[in-house]
Structure 1
């Protein structure tokens, strides 16, 4: 299976989540809850984008751009624009590695170098996104909202 097909499913689930985030009061999108890592819905979702920027962009494609700062995003519209750039990174990554998802590529994390594969990088970012999507839904419940079903099969 081509990972581009799988990524379309990820984007569909993300679309449901972002549409749900549009129902929040403006301040709730950025409201900090210190009991959650990364603190706010916005921060969690920017962190997800940053993870794609690091593993797919910097490590997989050699595109070493600075991470998007949390405070650069204040609305769901701005977040959607950020995810358009993430989608382009994934598209470029898929084009680069479509013939060999198991080739070894050098990567680094916390000053440690090691080899990974495109399939591992892709799997890492999509599972990471779903982990944090669950946190967003839980945080939204703490803010008084009723979470929507964002599963792939819904």
Structure 2
């Protein structure tokens, strides 16, 4: 299962890279522009939120690290967002190493947002963050369409 985990995350990284390549084609002003239909969040804001979700669930809950929240303005462009995801990649590697061979083992995980420990498997934590990423990836593409762009294929299997 450890090899499958690594292969799956490589597929996710490929889809993310396609999205970030596309984001680099947007005007810098549109990348950070609030979109009314999305609670006045920007594409950049959602991408920073996705990176923070990995940090919260895998880092804070899974690995017991304190969460250092950063305002989206600290990632002013696609290059800065790529750097956030490089840190996410390192975090995922550490999470994978810690839980190797234990993916399906239910454990107690402390979360500052929940009064009692959560009974979860590491696979549940990982699945949560990747599905969350893909949900917001779709929103980013919809936002770009509202800003006048034609989104590209950013699926895991791109045609």
**Residue from 136, 141, 144 that aligns with 2:140:** 136
Equivalent-residue separation in structure 2 for 1:102 and 1:84 (angstroms): 26
- What is the CA–CA distance in structure 1 between the aligned matches of 2:75 and 2:40, rounded to whole Å? 14
Over aligned residues, Cα RMSD in angstroms?
A: 1.3
The equivalent residue for 2:128 is 124
- Please name the residue that 2:77 is paired with: 75
Residue 151 (structure 1) aligns with: 155
- After superposition, residues 81-96 of structure 1 pair within 5 angstroms as 81-96=83-98
Distance 1:120 1:107 in 2: 14
TM-score by length of 1: 0.95
Alpha-carbon distance, 1:38 to partner: 6.1
Q: Mark the CA change 1:34 to 1:107 in structure 2 (over 3 Å): closer, same or farther.
A: farther
Q: Which moved more, 1:103-112 or 1:54-63?
A: 103-112
Q: Residues 19-63 of structure 1: CA distance to partner in whole angstroms, max 9, x if unpaired? A: 000001110010001220461000000000010000011111111
Unaligned 5+ segments in structure 2 are none
Once the two structures are overlaid, the 10-residue window that deviates more, 8-17 or 108-117, is 108-117
| Matched residue count | 154
TM-score (norm 2): 0.92
3-state SS in 2 of match to 1:111: coil
Secondary structure of 2:73's match?
A: helix
* 1:9 alignment partner, SS class: helix
Contact 1:105 1:118 in 2 (8 A): no
What 5-or-longer segments of structure 1 have no aligned partner? none
